[in-house]
Amino acid sequence: MSRLLSIDGISVRYGAIEALHQVSMSVEEGDIVALIGANGAGKSTLLKAIVGQVPLCEGSISFRDEVVSTSEKHRKSLPTHMLARMGIALVPEGRHVFADMTVEENLDMGAFFVRDASLVARKKEEMFDFFPILGARRKQKTRSLSGGEQQMMAIARALMSSPHMLLLDEPGLGLAPLVVQDIFQKIKLINSEDKVTVFLVEQNARMALRSSDRGYCLENGRIVLSDASSALLENDRVRQAYLGE
């Protein structure tokens, strides 16, 4: 297995506040990697840094052995849309669907830079097979979908461009426990069947660690733990702080 994403000692500051402090982590190809942490730990900032929406003060980020963001003055970070074209598909927190478009049109947007119409059509059918509920609602305005359906649609839209890596920001946010389970099952399937590497950020630590291969734990902008997810589930500190045991 090769290293798909590597983050080397990055720091991010919002004015005087340091949101991330020398964070290093890596995502191996084919893995599901979970990042857990409390509110305000810097999880979303880390994702924003990966997709080039906040500048780095220190360190660098590489994707497929290519530096995409660095703190050095002479190189800026690649903008989000370029990273999307390189194969990093982000499912933003809170879903960010195009509410006034139908499900099908949303999926079309996901394949915006794919010029091959027959490939897009095929991908769309794959998505409707994989998420049958979306197939049933394909002509419906996304606004009318339930939260769980919208989350599935956001994931399907991200997969439309056949990405190498799927970044999920709080996929379980605000959803019923059964729906969350369903979504994590789908994420596992996407990983095992489509061979898409998944990096997910989640507050629901138990769910995230159960579904992933590796886990990182972020506290106050620092990585405090990193291990195989199964080991983290047994870790006393994780059990106390995140699993409420």
Partner 1 sequence: MLNFFQLIIIYAGIYALMAIGQNCITGNTGMLSLCHAGFFCIGSYATAIICKTFGLPFWFSLPVAALASGIVGFLIGVPTLRLKGDYLCIATLGLGEIIRNIATNVNPVGMMSVPRAQLFGYQFSSRNKFTFILLIWFFVLIAYILFRQLAHSRLGRAMVAVREDEVAAASNGINVTKYKIGAFTLGAAVGGTAGCFATAYTLTVQPSSFTFMVSVMVLCMVVLGGMGNLLGVILGAFIIEFISYFPQLVGLSSVIPAQASQIIYGLVLVVMMICRPQGILGRDKYRYGDPRSTFSKLRDAVKSRKGGEVKA
Contact flag: residue 79 with partner 1 (CB under 8 A): yes
C-alpha 82/C-alpha 198 separation (Å) is 19
C-alpha 223/C-alpha 80 separation (Å) is 24
Stretch that binds partner 1, among 34-42, 58-66, 152-160, 202-210 (CB under 8 A): 152-160
Between 137 and 214, CB nearer to partner 1: 137
**Which position among 57, 101, 133, 225 is part of the footprint of partner 1 (CB under 8 A)?**
101
C-alpha 5/C-alpha 189 separation (Å) is 21
In the complex, minimum distance from the CB of residue 222 to partner 1, in angstroms, rounded to a whole number: 26
**Which position among 3, 75, 76, 96 is part of the footprint of partner 1 (CB under 8 A)?**
96
Contact flag: residue 174 with partner 1 (CB under 8 A): no
In the complex, minimum distance from the CB of residue 114 to partner 1, in angstroms, rounded to a whole number: 9
Between 23 and 91, CB nearer to partner 1: 91
* 3 state SS for 62-75: EECCEEEEECCCCC
Contact flag: residue 171 with partner 1 (CB under 8 A): no
Q: Which contacts of 123-129 are long-range, i.e. CB under 8 A and separated by 24 or more positions?
A: 123/159, 123/160, 123/162, 124/160, 127/156, 127/159, 127/160
Between 157 and 214, CB nearer to partner 1: 157
In the complex, minimum distance from the CB of residue 81 to partner 1, in angstroms, rounded to a whole number: 5
Contact flag: residue 80 with partner 1 (CB under 8 A): yes
C-alpha 105/C-alpha 78 separation (Å) is 27
For residue 66, the cross-strand partners are: 63
Contact flag: residue 81 with partner 1 (CB under 8 A): yes
Contact flag: residue 159 with partner 1 (CB under 8 A): no
Task: Measure the CA angle with vertex 43, ends 245 and 211; round to 5°.
Answer: 55
Please choose, from the candidates 2, 15, 30, 20, the residue with its C-alpha nearest in 3D space to the C-alpha of residue 69: 20
**DSSP code, position 40:** T
**Which position among 14, 109, 122, 144 is part of the footprint of partner 1 (CB under 8 A)?**
109
Stretch that binds partner 1, among 25-33, 64-72, 109-117, 185-193 (CB under 8 A): 109-117
Angle, helices 147-159/117-130, rounded to nearest 10 degrees:
140
Binding site for partner 1 (CB under 8 A): 51, 53, 79-81, 84-85, 89-92, 96-102, 105, 108-110, 112-113, 154, 157-158, 161
